[in-house]
């Protein structure tokens, strides 16, 4: 696996040693059980896999290389490099400006760009329309294109499926940058549709089976399908791909459900003519992080903490998993931990940061499950651990806890 030159700002003295030890103990990454840092008053049960993935580290390395190699030039990011405020704040402090926000709203006009400017494409990629616009200006968008290779893998698979006459169904959030980029590329080759979850898949299944009139398709999926989409024709041959930050298990459930509908309609003996096998489009890092989070749930903990950006899709799904069993707190960094009795946590359902009391339970020993999103620097997890140790007035040193791993 390639190693990346990521600034020391992102590294950590605690988590880096935990991960290094696990790499020696489990080089093939087959053990998903958590690592445990035992202290006298608190224990941290760290997910086997969390934090920066290949695509994120690649994006960060290229962004800082752009700064070092283009002194005096204007350097822009098309939108947020990744969904983490600490990362994006550090990039802007170092001189990179954002052209758009995460919703695609313009912050700096493309008309102000020149061929001398450097534009960095973020890890999520971008649409063909924006890419062609930037190329027409003459901006260099290839040298520092940080599109994740696993996102590009989904694009390539979509292109191949389209060339074989499949309609592309994208499991994703229609407003997310990655899904917009994937939709743009699949739409260039084939009819395409975005569905958000299993409930929408079930609704689509009723359209395919004929239980609902085709007219319902256009109202229910408004704004999520390509021009001239014809449900009768375009839902006869399907391939399902995903936004790489979605729950892998839900992508699999959606695919399995639609496949069952197609078998009911066309027969098992004909299924290969109507449904493509697209299991190879799932992102290994997202899958590993989610599997490791599920392993955290195999034992009882007093609470769980998820660290990451509040607009991070993959981080939100980790919260969804953990909150089914534990009191779960979603925080961007240690500054959200106010005291033992108060924490500010992002509510993923109502989309706001809420004040939650009774954070650390009054117990002789507290067990905390902890993980972070793929765009979260390990340093931030370090700082959360250190903050809690201070609040608990822990008398065992971090060094001793690391030696006991």
The 8-class DSSP code of residue 106 comes to B
Residues 6+ apart with CB under 8 A from 330: 306, 308, 310, 315, 316, 319, 345, 346, 347, 348
Which CATH number fits the domain that encloses residue 341?
A: 3.40.1010.20
pLDDT at 201: 97
Could you tell me if 16 and 74 lie in one domain?
no
Whether the Cβ atoms of residue 381 and residue 315 lie closer than 8 Å to each other: no
Could you tell me if 276 and 153 lie in one domain?
yes
Range of the domain at 25: 8-53+285-403
Could you tell me if 133 and 158 lie in one domain?
no
Could you tell me if 302 and 356 lie in one domain?
yes
Of residues 152, 328, 158, the one with CA closest to residue 226:
158
Query: What are 68-124's pLDDT values in tens digits?
Result: 999 999 999 998 877 788 888 889 999 999 999 888 899 999 999 999 999 999 999
Which CATH number fits the domain that encloses residue 130?
A: 3.40.50.11270
What's the pTM value of the predicted model, to 2 decimals? 0.88
Query: What are 24-52's pLDDT values in tens digits?
Result: 999 988 899 999 999 999 999 999 999 98
Three-class secondary structure of residue 38 per DSSP = strand
Number of domains in the chain: 3
Q: Is residue 3 part of a domain?
A: no
Mean pLDDT within 270-282? 85
pLDDT above 80 (res 145): yes
- Of 178, 200, 250, 383, the catalytic one is 178
Residue at which a domain ends, from 235, 253, 280 = 280
Beta bridge partners of 140: 118
pLDDT above 80 (res 59): yes
C-alpha–C-alpha distance, residues 143 and 141, integer Å: 6
Could you tell me if 43 and 70 lie in one domain?
no
> Has 178 been annotated as catalytic?
yes
Q: Which of 76-85, 215-224, 267-276 has the lowest mean pLDDT?
A: 76-85
Residue at which a domain ends, from 116, 137, 158 = 137
C-alpha–C-alpha distance, residues 382 and 391, integer Å: 14
Biggest distance spanned by C-alpha atoms of the chain: 68
Could you tell me if 48 and 86 lie in one domain?
no
Whether the Cβ atoms of residue 195 and residue 254 lie closer than 8 Å to each other: yes
pLDDT at 280: 66
Could you tell me if 273 and 155 lie in one domain?
yes
Residue at which a domain ends, from 107, 137, 167 = 137
Q: Is residue 144 part of a domain?
A: no
Could you tell me if 123 and 238 lie in one domain?
no
pLDDT at 168: 97
Taking the C-alpha atoms of 78, 79, 83 and 88 in order, what is their torsion angle to the nearest 10 degrees? 80
Of residues 243, 258, 247, 261, the one with CA closest to residue 175:
243
Q: Is residue 377 part of a domain?
A: yes
pLDDT above 60 (res 244): yes
Q: Is residue 2 part of a domain?
A: no
Q: Is residue 143 part of a domain?
A: no
Q: Is residue 142 part of a domain?
A: no
């Amino acid at each position: 696996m390639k190693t990346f030159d990521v600034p020391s700002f992102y590294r950590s003295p605690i988590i880096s040693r935990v991960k290094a030890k696990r790499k020696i103990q489990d080089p093939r990454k087959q053990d998903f059980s958590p690592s445990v840092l035992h202290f006298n008053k608190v224990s941290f049960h760290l997910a086997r896999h969390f934090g920066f993935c290949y695509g994120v580290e690649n994006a960060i390395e290229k962004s800082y290389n752009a700064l070092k190699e283009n002194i005096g030039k204007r350097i822009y990011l098309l939108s947020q490099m990744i969904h983490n405020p600490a990362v994006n704040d550090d990039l802007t402090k170092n001189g990179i400006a954002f052209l758009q926000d995460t919703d695609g709203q313009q912050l700096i006009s493309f008309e102000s760009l020149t061929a001398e400017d450097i534009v960095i494409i973020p890890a999520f990629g971008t649409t063909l329309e924006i890419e062609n616009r930037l190329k027409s200006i003459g901006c260099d968008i290839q040298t520092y294109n940080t599109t994740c290779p696993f996102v590009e893998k989904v694009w390539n698979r979509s292109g191949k499926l389209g060339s074989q006459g499949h309609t592309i169904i994208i499991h994703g959030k229609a407003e997310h940058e990655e899904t917009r980029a994937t939709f743009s590329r699949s739409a260039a080759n084939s009819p395409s549709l975005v569905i958000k979850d299993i409930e929408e898949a079930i609704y689509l299944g009723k359209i395919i089976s004929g239980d609902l009139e085709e007219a319902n398709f256009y109202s229910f999926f408004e704004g999520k399908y390509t021009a001239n989409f014809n449900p009768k024709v375009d839902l006869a041959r399907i391939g399902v791909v995903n936004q790489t930050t979605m729950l892998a298990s839900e992508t699999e459930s959606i695919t399995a459900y639609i496949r069952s509908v197609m078998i009911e309609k066309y027969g098992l003996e004909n299924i290969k003519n109507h449904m493509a096998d697209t299991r190879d489009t799932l992102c290994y890092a997202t899958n590993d992080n989610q599997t490791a989070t599920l392993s955290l749930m195999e034992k009882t903990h007093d609470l769980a903490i998820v660290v990451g950006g509040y607009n991070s899709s993959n981080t939100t799904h980790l919260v969804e998993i953990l909150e089914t069993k534990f009191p779960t707190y979603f925080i961007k960094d240690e500054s959200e931990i106010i005291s033992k009795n108060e924490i500010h946590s992002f509510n993923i359902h109502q989309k706001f940061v809420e004040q939650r009391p009774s954070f650390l339970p009054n117990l002789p020993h507290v067990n905390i499950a902890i993980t972070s999103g793929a765009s979260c620097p390990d340093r931030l997890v370090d700082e959360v651990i250190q903050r809690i140790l201070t609040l608990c007035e822990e008398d065992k040193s971090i060094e001793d806890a690391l030696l006991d791993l």
